[in-house]
Structure 1
Amino acid sequence: MQLKQGPTRWLVAVGAAVSAVLSAGCDVRNISELKEGVSTEAEVRARFGQPEAIWEAPGGGHVLEYNRNPAGHVNYMITIGPDGRMTALRQVLTPENFARIQPGMMMEQVRRLLGKPARQTPYPLKRESAWDWRYLQPPNTSMVFTVWFNEDWRVVRTATAPDPEAPENRGGGGGR
């Protein structure tokens, strides 16, 4: 059974890596084909597909949420103005956005800022839940940003750490 588990894990890891690379390549091409103030919502959806969520935008319009976690390291928020044209396209998993997450913020505020997390882990005995987002610290270090919420879904604390699932952060020890 150990022999089957090793190759299966390897295949899953390779599949996730290939998916992330292909998605990143497609994203770069899709982003280059879209122009702020010109591209329409229909063009955005044709390139990015169905959004994970749709949020109201200040001043009218709405924001389309596109997630690339857990396999990728980015989440996109694409703002569509009241006229139906794209007004902004931004990758939201950045240190600047992480710094905006403060104790007391509501879960929905965090979700609107960072998008869907890669993982949600409940800690019932502590009455907390931890949400993780994977991102790249330049030039290419895989990291995890974690937000802990209390039972009222308010931010308690945050932390940043190396991504334990990244190949460069895994311990040796074979399984060949």
Structure 2
Amino acid sequence: MRLAALACFALSAALLAGCATPDRDARLQPGSSREADVIAIYGPPVKVWPEVDGGRTLEYSSQPMGRHAYMVRLAADGRLVGVLDGLSPAGRARIEPGMTPEQVSRLLGRERTRVFFRNSGEDVWDWTVEPDQTGYGLRFNVHFKEGVVLRTTHSMVFPSRLFPGLDD
């Protein structure tokens, strides 16, 4: 039984390692792939954002445990325009003071958590993101005050001795 479980684990790990992501999937081609192709491969999106030009953005957020939020942009005719990872360093850099919560969500996707700090009056949303060169887990935080972005910060997530493996 133990050998079968180990073999199952090894197979699962190998399959996951080979998984394509929407931003690098050769099956999806801007200009020719359609919304139905994206959904057939990746399933239904977490959210669909309407765009002013009649197009749509399909949100594929992996929060709370994942580290990506793929935003699949479609033209008005349903053809793929492109894919961005909202939680990439470049995606996070687009967050600026004064933005509304909806503007932030449209860029970064669904957040991991929201915490309100009564003393400072700040509502802080966070996202799990790829670790930096330290190798520790990393969270990107957006601080809102009075309904707009005040600032952004990063938090390191240190390993827990009490709950190993749950520190991401």
Shorter chain as denominator, the TM-score bin is 0.7 to 0.9
**Does 2:66 match 1:72?**
yes
Aligned partners of 1:57 and 1:79 also within 8 Å: no
Which structure has more helix as a fraction of its residues? 1
For 1:40 and 1:143, the matched residues in 2 are separated by: 34
Q: CA deviation at 1:139?
A: 6.5
Deviation at 1:135, TM superposition (A): 1.0
- Of residues 127-136 and 95-104 in structure 1, the stretch that sits farther from structure 2 once superposed is 95-104
2:148 & 2:34 partners in 1: Cα distance? Answer: 36
Runs of 4+ in 1 over 6 A off after TM superposition: none
Q: TM-score, normalised by structure 1?
A: 0.73
2:63 match: secondary structure: coil
Task: Give the Cα–Cα distance (whole angstroms) in 2 for the partners of residues 51 and 70 of structure 1.
Answer: 15
Can you give the 5+ residue segments of structure 1 that lack an aligned partner in the other structure? 1-17
Describe the shift of the 1:98–1:174 C-alpha distance in structure 2 as closer, same or farther (beyond 3 A): closer
Per the alignment, residue 4 of structure 1 pairs with none
| 1:27-56 residue CA offsets vs partner (Å, 9 max, x unmatched) | 438823211111110111111212122112
How many Å apart are 1:67 and its aligned residue? 0.6
- Aligned CA-pair RMSD: 2.8
Aligned residues: 150
1:59 is matched with 53
Does the alignment pair 1:149 with 2:149?
A: no
Structure 1 residues 73, 102: closer, same or farther in 2, change over 3 A? same
Specify the code of the residue in structure 2 equivalent to 1:114. L
- Select 2:128's aligned residue among 134, 155, 164: 134
**Do 2:59 and 2:70's aligned partners in 1 also have CA atoms closer than 8 Å?**
yes
1:26 corresponding residue in structure 2: 19
Structure 2: gaps spanning 5 or more residues: 1-11
The code of the aligned residue for 1:170 comes to: P
CA gap 1:136/1:83 in 2 versus in 1, 3 angstroms: same
Q: 1:84 to 1:140 in 2, by over 3 A?
A: farther
Contact kept in structure 2, 1:65 and 1:115, CA below 8 Å? yes
Residue among 156, 159, 162 paired with 1:170: 159
TM-score by length of 2: 0.76
The letter for the 1-side match of 2:61 is N
> In structure 2, how many angstroms separate the alpha carbons of the residues matched to 1:171 and 1:116?
25
Q: Distance between the aligned counterparts of 2:102 and 2:163, measured in 1?
A: 41
2:80 aligned with 1:107, yes or no?
no
Corresponding position of 1:3: none
Could you tell me whether the CA contact under 8 Å between 1:38 and 1:85 is conserved in 2? yes
